[in-house]
Amino acid sequence: MKLQHLLLAILITAIWGLNFSVIKLGLVSVDPLILAGIRFALCALPAILFIPRPNVPWRYIIGYGLVFGIGLWGVVNLGIKSGLSAGIASLVLQFSAFFTLVLGGWVFKEKLTRYQLGGIAIALCGLLSIIFIVDGSVTLAGLGLVLAGAVAWSVANIINKKARTTQVFAFLVWSSAFAPVPLFLLGYAVNGAQGYTALVTQLDWRAVSSILFQVYPNTLFAYWVWNSLLKRYPVSTVAPLSLLVPIFGMLGSVLIFNEALSLTKIMAVVLIVAGLVVGLYGERIGHAWRAQAARSSL
């Protein structure tokens, strides 16, 4: 990978990691579901007026929009609002990779390898260690909600895979159009008019900055660049860089909210990232190591 593309990929992972802290800033004055609704409304408009609909069945566009918008980000917003720190949220959400492996094995009849099972076991140790964090940055409600969001992300990944679209940006824009109205209705169902009253009376520069960051750098720009890199380079070159997301997520929370970085949190980060490495890339690393050992013995 060329240096400028490597730096660009790292920038994208930094944006995605920082986004969790940016979401938390927006949640100070905006209802979690309304915040997600505004985000996806702006992701769809006005872009949908200029971008042709992707050539995939409506069920995939609608399904992805509902699951990605409501099941993932609406629920993650609720989890952060429920007391889970931005750094821990960015870390726990990475379990979507394992949920995708398990769900993909069921849907596509793909057998889990020993590396994947080992990676899941290692990451689960990291998840269990999070429960013992007692500095106020973890709540069971928040942890459960973000894990539910991770499950939703895995479902969204399966929908995306079944759609088999090459028009990734158009797919994102068009699917985003189906999330706002349900999110706004859910916000009203949960809190009545209170959330909308607060939106009018308490909207400040932090909330506006949070919304704009989530829409443009984090969603439209980042996904466009990332998928462009995936088209230019092998997945095996680009995808591992996503392991930097929870690291940037934790650092962002430390810098913006002065989140304490305890030994338990460091251990959780190490275990979960190590589990991801083993589960997603262990077999490839093992093959490369054995091939190198074979060449060395000649």
Question: Judging by beta carbons within 10 Å of its beta carbon (0-12, 13-18, 19+), is residue 8 exposed, middle or buried?
Answer: middle
As a whole number of angstroms, the distance between CA 150 and CA 155 comes to 9
Alpha carbons within 13 A on the beta-carbon side of 152? 20
What pLDDT score was predicted for residue 74? 96
Please write the tens of the pLDDT for every residue from 251-278: 999 999 998 888 888 998 899 888 888 8
- Among 89, 74, 1, 6, residue whose Cα is nearest residue 36: 74
As a whole number of angstroms, the distance between CA 291 and CA 256 comes to 45
Alpha-helical regions (H) of the chain: 3-26, 32-44, 58-66, 75-81, 86-92, 96-107, 114-131, 140-163, 168-176, 180-191, 194-202, 205-213, 222-232, 235-238, 245-257, 263-297
What pLDDT score was predicted for residue 75? 97
As a whole number of angstroms, the distance between CA 80 and CA 282 comes to 31
Q: 56: helix, coil or strand?
A: coil
Q: Which tokens sit at 274?
A: 């190590």
Task: Return the exposure string of 202-237: e unless at least 16 CB atoms fall within 10 Å of the residue's CB, then b.
Answer: eeeebbeebbebbbebbbbebbebbbebeeebeeee
What pLDDT score was predicted for residue 289? 79
As a whole number of angstroms, the distance between CA 175 and CA 41 comes to 10
What pLDDT score was predicted for residue 134? 75
Q: CB–CB of 35/211 below 8 Å?
A: yes
CA distances from 198 to 27, 106, 165, 194, 204 (A): 11, 44, 39, 6, 11
Q: What is the mean pLDDT of each run of 10 residues along the chain (298 residues)?
A: 88 95 95 96 95 95 96 96 93 86 76 84 89 85 95 89 86 96 95 90 91 94 84 71 88 92 89 86 78 71
Q: Give the torsion through C-alpha atoms of 44, 45, 49, 52, to 10 deg.
A: -10
What pLDDT score was predicted for residue 297? 66
As a whole number of angstroms, the distance between CA 53 and CA 298 comes to 56
As a whole number of angstroms, the distance between CA 147 and CA 76 comes to 8
- Phi, psi at residue 43, to the nearest 5°? -70, -35
Write down the pTM of the prediction.
0.88
What pLDDT score was predicted for residue 236? 60
Amino acid at 254: V
Q: 200: helix, coil or strand?
A: helix
